[in-house]
Amino acid sequence: MTIGIIGAMEIEIELLKEDLELKSKLEKASMTFYSGNLAGQEVVLVKSGIGKVNAGICTQILVDEFDIDQLIFTGVAGAIDPALEVEDIVVSTDLVQHDVDATAFGDRKPGEIPELAKISFEADENLVDLAFNAGKDILKSESNQVYKGRILSGDQFISDKVKVKKLKEQFGGYCTEMEGAAVAQAAYLNQLPFVIIRSISDKADEEADISFEKFAKEAAQHSYKIVIAILKKLISS
């Protein structure tokens, strides 16, 4: 079994890359795909770059070039649920593209993908449970919490309380980021099991840029630990 692991930014994959027993590299679409062994599991690790287009292209390359069996996306996100604190973890149950709007056609809902007639894309239940349980174990000695829930994606860095309130009212969900739902849609089209793991780096408010710079690295460490725990569980299962 081969697991694909994606992070949008270097900070989101650097700890994983340090642990990877590298076997080969492939350069494609301005991305570097690192194949090797991580925590006893065969993996392909890659930095997709920021945004939904990069994430979708990256996912399809993992499918086409490496025939991966499962996919994990790891990284940071901004909170939209007021219960969340910086460095809490959100494990995706499903994902929605909040910036998709075809409602001008009259019979479409916000976030609905035309032709697919879908708003949300569901993560694999087994991977979700593995990530959630790993998160609980990792955070049990800390003040942070792990949640299962909807994640919103759009090609926007959200730093506006008014926008956060609107997103929460319209779509629900726990956090917002810029890649996950594109990965989810590509995985859905390829019938590929996936999960998105997000560690909260900011509150998606007017101080989000400051908070992101300050806490992103610490938040990414939690995601890294969960990914390693999932890989170990997949071997033993």
Section 197-222 average pLDDT: 68
Contact 40, 232 (CB under 8 A): yes
Number of domains the chain contains: 1
Among candidate residues 99, 101, 106, 194, the one with its CA nearest the CA of residue 154: 99
Q: How confident is the model at residue 107 (pLDDT cuts 50, 70, 90)?
A: confident
Reduced to 3 states (helix: H, G, I; strand: E, B; else coil), residue 86 is coil
Instruction: Determine which one of 87, 124, 177, 202 is catalytic.
Output: 202
Residues forming beta bridges with residue 44, ordered by sequence position: 4, 35
What's at 215, amino acid-wise?
F
pLDDT tens readout for residues 70-104? 999 998 888 899 889 888 899 999 999 999 988 88
Q: Tell me, what CATH number does 150's domain have?
A: 3.40.50.1580
pLDDT tens readout for residues 11-50? 889 989 999 999 999 999 999 999 999 999 999 999 999 9
Distance CA 57, CA 29 (A): 8
Instruction: Determine which one of 12, 112, 124, 177 is catalytic.
Output: 12
Contact 226, 197 (CB under 8 A): yes
Residues forming beta bridges with residue 199, ordered by sequence position: 76, 89
pLDDT of residue 117: 84
pLDDT of residue 209: 54
Among candidate residues 184, 192, 194, 197, the one with its CA nearest the CA of residue 229: 197
- Structural domain that includes position 109: 2-236
Quick check: 208 pLDDT over 60?
no
Distance CA 30, CA 58 (A): 10
Higher-pLDDT residue of 222, 228: 228
Q: Active site includes 12?
A: yes
What's at 8, amino acid-wise?
A
pTM of the model: 0.92
Q: How confident is the model at residue 236 (pLDDT cuts 50, 70, 90)?
A: low
Other C-beta atoms lying within 10 Å of the C-beta of residue 109: 12
- Look up residue 206 and give its DSSP letter: T
Higher-pLDDT residue of 216, 113: 113
pLDDT tens readout for residues 162-189? 888 889 999 999 999 999 999 999 999 9
Q: Active site includes 202?
A: yes
